Amino acid sequence: MQQLQYACPTSLEECLLLLKEAGTEAMPYAGGTDVMIHLRDRAACVQNIRLLVDLGKLEPLRGIRLENGMIHLGAMTTHAEAAHSALLHEHAPFLAAAANTVGSQQIRNTGTIGGNVCNGSPAADTASPLTALYAEAVVRSASGTRRVPLPELYGRNGMTLAPGELVTEFVFPSFAGWHTAFLKLGRRKALAISRMNVAAALELQNDGTISGARIAPGCVFRSPDRVREAEEHLIGKAPSRALFAEAGLISSEEMIRRTGVRWSTEYKKPVLEALVERALLQAAGLPLEET
């Protein structure tokens, strides 16, 4: 039976000191919706853990605020709080939409944005819009603070956080005025982990042409990332079904270029193309089906 110690620090400084002292034997947890399953299943990622550090009383890690045109999203903000945040609905609506697709209502009430990202899964729904938003993770330790672009948190074998480090918040610019969409594909409509997802955002000029574009698919690359070639293809053009289908094709070609042809490519390629096209159509306010 695995013997575990438990700590529930009441200040960030106390928390960081605990993490420093325990090193690789400590595991911070937020909502615990994944950690408890790992412990139950005796997963490899928790076999050497002797100290669970509960982040539940660290109020500075909660909340969403706008400061100098930048959104500060606390890592302990729950999915439900993000999904219903008036600030996110105005400044990053596809992040609120993604948070609203995570698990069940009970999971959304407990699970956090920080936990969703730091679990290290490429299927994390909130990682795609955060990537599209140029989000940076604020990483704290007893030694200091660093800011890391979200895709760089993900390494080949999991998260790149060093022992003793903790993500405290995500910071990204306001996308107010952009038109956004988030779509996911799961094995079923509810309570499903993404098999693939896409976060898309469009900035439109007064004449209707596209002046800015963000396309960030999830579960496609080794770590969350944008498809810049597809984004650049949209700039200066008017939204249309044909244009967005071309962006989908560019996205699938980039997937194959990065990851190669695998047994799953036969179905992933058309699915990615369709999701990108539909996400862009939704963002642009165009009908999803041809009439």
pLDDT in tens, 141-156: 999 999 999 999 987 6
**pTM across the whole model:** 0.91
Name residues of the chain where pLDDT drops below 50: 1, 188, 190-192
Strands 51-54 and 5-7: parallel
One-letter amino acid at 105 equals Q
The beta strand positions in 150-195, using DSSP E, are 154-155, 158-159, 166-173, 179-185
| Residue 14 CB contacts under 8 Å (≥ 6 apart), including other chains | none
CA separation for the pair 164, 143 (Å, rounded): 9
Report the pLDDT value the prediction gives residue 86, as an integer from 0 to 100.
97
Residues 6+ apart with CB under 8 A from 257: none
26-29 and 64-67 strand pairing: unpaired
Specify the pairing of strand 154-155 against strand 210-218.
Answer: unpaired
Task: Give the Å distances, CA to CA, from 194 to 3, 14, 37, 43, 111.
Answer: 33, 36, 18, 21, 16
Measured between alpha carbons, how far apart are the two ends of the chain, in Å? 61
